Chain A
C-alpha cells in the first residue's frame, strides 16, 4: 500500500483479556518499529525488527508484551492479560533501512482502551 496501515484503529477490551494489534509496513521496507503513546505524552519505543536479525526488544515494558514479524512484512503486537495502564495509542513505523538516515514513516495508530 501507499503507507503504513494498522488495525484495528480502535480497540476496547476488558482488563485481563489478550489483544493483538496488527501493522502492515510500507512494501519493501525492511525495518519495522512499534511505539506507544500515552495521553498527552511523547512516543515511547517498544521494539523493532530489521530483516532477519533478532529484534531489539529493549523497550517492552513487561513480559506481557510480545511482537512478531512474519515473513519480514506484517507484524503483530500482542499484549497478554491487559491492564488499565496499557491504555494508549500504539503506533507502528517502517523504514527502508536501520541505523541509517532513512525516514521512519508512521501509521495512524491503534487506540487501545482497557476497561
Chain B
C-alpha cells in the first residue's frame, strides 16, 4: 500500500533553534497535510497544502508541497517549549489520510 517516509524520526533541539522535517512518497498526492499530536490527544491540523509547489505559512510554521507532488517539508522557526510533540505528515487519497511515521520533537529551554 501507499507509504509516507518521514524524517527525522526524532529531534532534540535548543529553544530558539529552527527545525526542519520532511516527508517523501512513492505515490502522488493531491493534498499534503501536516499535523501535530500532543500526548493523550488526537492530531491537530497545522498546515494544508493543495497545489504542487505551494509554500504556505502559519505563524512560525512554513510548509511546502513538492513540485513532483511526492514530497513535502515543514519548517518551524524560533522553536519554543510548547512546540514539543509529534509531527505527522499526511497525504490525502480519496478521502483517506495516509500518515507518515511521525517526528518527535523535544525542545530544551
Contacts and interface: CB of A to CB of B under 8 A. Distances in A.
B42 A103 contact: no
A42 B95 contact: no
Contacts of A93: 42, 97
B99 A42 contact: yes
Interface string A38-76: 001111110010100000100100000000000000000
A44 to B, nearest CB: 8
B45 interface: yes
Contacts of B102: 40-42
A98 to B, nearest CB: 4
A50 B101 contact: no
A93 B45 CA distance: 12
A25 interface: no
Interface string B72-109: 00000000000000001010001111111110000000
Interface of B: 4, 6, 31, 40-45, 48, 50, 88, 90, 94-102
Nearest to B98: A45
A106 B44 contact: yes
A43 B95 contact: no
A104 interface: yes
A42 B101 contact: yes
Contacts of A50: 95
A42 B88 contact: yes
19 contacts: A33-B95, A33-B96, A35-B97, A40-B102, A41-B102, A42-B6, A42-B101, A43-B43, A43-B88, A43-B99, A45-B96, A45-B98, A48-B96, A50-B95, A93-B97, A101-B31, A101-B48, A105-B45, A108-B40
